[in-house]
């Protein structure tokens, strides 16, 4: 049982990457607030995990070899096809789809229409669900910030200008991430809640794709060929290195590709690198080399891969020098090689490591 574990840091110099809607405390009626966490120390802007996952889904939809799942809607209920054999997105991002029991005529007609376009759910099973093998935390500022209110007007219309207001901030946003490699491309067929990934209809699809039947964590499952599984995970890792998205980009253009990206494979889903970047005494983001040294020591027997650290030049250069001093001694002291380069380069290198023959045991 192995997990990709890591952390990413995004530099937001003047940004409003995820908004909360109307600002109830604003002095004007037309005002938009950023999402933030209020604490005794101050306000921490954040980007929801759902937003980050949406950015990745959007980017992956344009990636060769990746298959996005179609979305269907019944009035107020929406779901994907929930077919992880056919769709990479359903495999790594999870799903929930249940057979509707409503007897409403209009809804029945809509279900009939959807049934002709999608993979039906076996009525005996009733529903298929899948916990996402890909996990990402809320992207939160490393330190509290003073959120700024910016005023603007729509002045091109006749009459008085129409004022509007929105918030933005400056900070570094950090999020943990992980991928359950055991579950990637592995679909449980148990009737236990949370383990009903596939029904009889989807088992047939898995068989056609070359999936094999086996026991995983004590439950019946079907597993796709390793080449397919590793290619899907590799595509996701590459997309993380190119992360792109965010609100208010027309006014606050922000490069949301990680300025720092740390990636490795552990025997479990813990996050030992989450505290590598924290608020320093001056309120600025600092790199905690002591945290990295402790993680390499404590998790020495659990870390199965080399450690890949992407750090873009120009971002906290003085802090990066701490890493450079540690890297040279890491292999001798801790028995692990640390690769350092640009975040996109490290995402590519790590993806290739996941797709290599040597990574086969990580997916067991």
**Boundaries of every domain in the chain:** 1-33+138-154+165-180+253-364, 49-134+186-223
What values do phi and psi take at 38, rounded to 5? -90, 130
Place of tokens 């996109």: 344
Condensed to tens digits (0 to 9), the pLDDT of residues 282-312 reads: 789 999 999 999 999 999 999 999 999 999 9
pLDDT value at residue 220: 95
What are the distances in angstroms from CA 174 to CA 43, 135, 273, 299? 15, 14, 11, 22
Higher local confidence (pLDDT), 283 or 116: 283
Condensed to tens digits (0 to 9), the pLDDT of residues 69-78 reads: 999 887 778 8
Percent of the chain topping pLDDT 70 = 92
pTM above 0.85, yes or no: yes
Nearest Cα neighbor of 68 from 48, 91, 102, 52 is 91
Nearest Cα neighbor of 268 from 331, 217, 343 is 217
What are the distances in angstroms from CA 52 to CA 3, 8, 179, 255? 19, 11, 15, 14
Q: Round to whole Å and give the CA distance between 116 and 118.
A: 6
**Maximum CA extent, the chain:** 73
Q: Determine the angle formed by the axes of helices 317-334 and 289-298, rounding to 10 degrees.
A: 20
CB proximity list for 288: less than 8 A, separation 6 or greater: 275, 276, 277, 278
Condensed to tens digits (0 to 9), the pLDDT of residues 245-273 reads: 999 999 999 999 999 999 999 999 999 99
């Amino acid at each position: 049982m192995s997990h990709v574990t890591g952390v990413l840091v995004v530099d937001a110099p003047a940004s409003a990457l995820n908004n909360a809607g109307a600002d109830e405390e604003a002095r004007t009626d037309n005002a938009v607030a950023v999402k933030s966490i209020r604490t005794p120390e101050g306000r921490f802007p954040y980007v929801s995990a759902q937003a980050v996952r949406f950015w990745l889904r959007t980017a992956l939809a344009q990636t060769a070899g990746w298959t996005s799942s179609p979305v269907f809607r019944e009035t107020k209920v929406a779901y994907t096809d929930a077919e992880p054999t056919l769709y990479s997105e359903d495999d790594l991002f999870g799903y929930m789809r249940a057979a509707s029991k409503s007897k409403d005529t209009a809804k029945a007609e809509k279900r009939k229409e959807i049934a002709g376009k999608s993979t039906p759910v076996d009525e005996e099973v009733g529903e298929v669900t899948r916990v996402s093998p890909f996990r990402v935390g809320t992207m939160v500022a490393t330190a509290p910030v003073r959120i700024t209110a910016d005023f603007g007007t729509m002045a091109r219309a006749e009459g008085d200008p129409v004022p509007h207001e929105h918030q933005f901030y400056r900070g570094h946003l950090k999020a943990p991430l992980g991928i359950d490699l055991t579950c990637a491309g592995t679909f449980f067929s148990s009737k236990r809640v949370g383990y009903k990934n596939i029904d009889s209809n989807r088992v047939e699809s898995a068989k056609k794709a070359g999936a094999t039947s086996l026991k995983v964590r004590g439950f019946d499952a079907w597993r796709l060929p390793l080449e397919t599984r590793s290619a899907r995970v590799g595509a996701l890792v590459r997309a993380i290195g190119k992360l792109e998205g965010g609100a208010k980009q027309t006014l606050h253009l922000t490069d949301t590709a990680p300025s720092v990206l740390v990636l490795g494979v552990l025997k479990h889903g813990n996050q030992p690198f989450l505290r590598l970047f924290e608020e320093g005494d001056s309120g600025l983001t600092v790199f905690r080399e002591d945290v990295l040294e402790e993680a390499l020591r404590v998790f020495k027997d659990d870390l199965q891969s080399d450690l890949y650290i992407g750090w873009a030049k120009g971002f906290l250069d003085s802090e990066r020098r701490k890493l450079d001093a540690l890297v040279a001694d890491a292999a001798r002291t801790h028995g692990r090689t640390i690769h350092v380069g640009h975040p996109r380069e490290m995402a590519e290198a790590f993806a290739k490591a996941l797709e290599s023959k040597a990574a086969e045991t990580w997916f067991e």
